[in-house]
Structure 1
Amino acid sequence: MDDSEFPIALPVPRKGRGAVTNLQGRYEVDQREKVDDGWVRSEDDESEAPALRTQVFEERAKSILTRNTSPDIPFSVSLNPYRGCEHGCIYCFARPTHSYLGLSPGLDFESRIYAKVNAAELLERELSKKTYVPEPIALGVNTDAYQPAERELRITRRVIEVLHARGHPFAAITKSSLIERDIDLLAPMAARNQVMAAVTITTLDADIARTLEPRAATPSRRLRTIRALSEAGIPVGVSIAPVIPFVTEPDMERVLEACAEAGASSASYIILRLPWEVAPLFKDWLTAHFPDRAERVMARVRDMRGGKDYDASFAQRMKGEGLWAELLKQRFHNAVRRLGLNERRRGILDISQFRTQLLAGTRPSEPPQDNPQLSLF
């Protein structure tokens, strides 16, 4: 029987998960290929794949600060308390990093989380070095520092305690309302111009967000977080990242309007990025959730990427190229100008108050006891 006689099975979504497959990582030695044996899910079958449990593993990292020299990134030092992210955003550019662990950038990335339980200890050690030169740290850029595991583990909280005690400036970006827990630390730092926050909102459509970012806070809840941070005196912006043609792109102006009304003072956007394994994972997600527009979405993505799924060059990777990318840029800047965003920037965070030693009584809380698998949800 010819292979063409078998129908192609559509990817089956999992409840509460972004990826619909456990795509093989590019560093795995053995290659696997999916073969349809005829047991194809019918178009009338609305069932989902079985639920997948999250495992959180302890990791004792050797270093905690990551440095970059990328000209299109507004920071050069970052800190990520976790590897992998349970939020499960299908578009996450950090997904391919799980390949370095011999795991899948797909479902493994969002269900096998590595918690750097010694992050605060490593940070304190780094800041104590006589050679250390302070500059603002970006917190939670690769994977969300306030993802669900943080509620129990409080690793991010202890990191901020160190930064607070040292008077060290930082910026945090998140999709979680859990950041409100740390307002008691953030507010006094904001008063000294030592902290700013950004909340990522891709769309106001809760149904789209539920499949796009399945375990992140709902869009309406993130708007409340913007309001809470703003009312506490913490400069907060909105990051519309990514802009996905024909999926989240129609919502751009509405997102900016809602965030401005909630108290956001700045805004930025990034066009969908599909590096490495993110491209096939995203295409599977499109096929599973938007089969009627999947080809149209990818055609527009390629229009902005020089005919490819992705262009990693510094000049193009964030904003794209071509007519459609230029139209998006104009739409964004017109809305920002109309709403008065990006006009009340505080400027560069203040590093002059950095202290080389912790003040008495300000030592961070103790980390959890050693346990190779911290929790199983």
Structure 2
Amino acid sequence: MNDYTGFPAAARHLAAMIRCPSVTPDTAGTLDYLEKVLAPLGFNCQRVTFSEAGTADVDNLYARLGSGSPHLMFAGHTDVVPAGEEAAWALPPFGAEVKDGVMYGRGAVDMKGGIACFIAAVEAYLEKHGKPDGSVSFLITGDEEGPSVNGTDKLLQWAAGKGERWDASIVGEPSNPEAIGDMIKNGRRGSLSGRITVHGVQGHSAYPHLADNPVRGLMDLLDALLATPFDEETDHFQPTNMEVTTVDVGNPAVNVIPADATAGFNIRFNDTWDGDSLKAEILSRLEKGAKASRIRHGKDAPVNYSVDWVGRVSPVFLTRETELVGKLSAAIADVTGRTPELSTGGGTSDARFIKDYCPVVEFGLIGQTMHQVDERIALSDLDTLTAVYLRFLEGWFSGH
């Protein structure tokens, strides 16, 4: 176990959080630690637990310093994905051990490291400048890696209901592909998931005329969905892409024609579509495919199928506001010498909820090891990100 005496603040904060095994939705003491750190700095800390039938209760933290504007929100999550096979890790996944200048641990980059760096930056700002002429808040959830039902979305509604308003937000997700300063995420593609079930007739594989094999129909329906591209890339987004993520028949026997065949899919869509128009396109393609296909040659009936939409649609969004992007880019250039690329690639994040309340971007650590065995971050990268956040805070509050 490392002794962190003398380590920079970000490394000490990160080590303390990694040692809390906060596998979603368990906060495992991480929010207790953040409250213990933020309250002495003058933050008004409030803990809020949200519930919903069929999901786990989630503890959340909202902490604000100051009462005036401009109001800058830093948003993030302390929950992490499971470590997997712990014996496969070079160092314990919840040990926060340092080897050759690199800290290992689940959540090191996604995204306890981003939280640790922003806290360290706020501490440095307060020591150097005193309280800002405005407000800084932390909006931290334990539900981002899970269903995202009892976390950021509800916490934003709760805070807004109490009169909270924000001028801008940074989400500390690991946005950089190779080095700190490579990339700012200023938008995200939307996400739509569903499940198609083709209904056949179970039977003996030696007597196919007495059965209808749903696998044949499912193949035709998937071909109808995938054969034609949905669109081309737009000015700010990659082309819409659909992936079939699972195909199941639930049939352990090799001599039985199954009754049903199911395929799950996920679509990452650009600003050509919204949730409603994309669902309509999916249904149209399936209907055409069903009419053109037959479960078995010689049968007249089209494919009998049903569609279930899975989860909520994550909307596509793009942050066009220039002050937030401009000042963050300037801070990155000052500290790293790099001009960050603006990107909308990758998956979804809680920025999809924040965009309804204020301009939001994502900027954090390097994401190469997120969700992997041996997730890790160089201590020098923690120092660099802290310096960028500090420079941004200075530029943000001096310009208002």
**Of the two, which has the highest radius of gyration?**
2
Higher relative contact order structure (alpha carbons within 8 Å, sequence separation ≥ 6): 2
TM-score, normalised by the number of residues in structure 2: 0.25
TM-score, normalised by the number of residues in structure 1: 0.26
| Higher strand proportion (structure 1 or 2) | 2
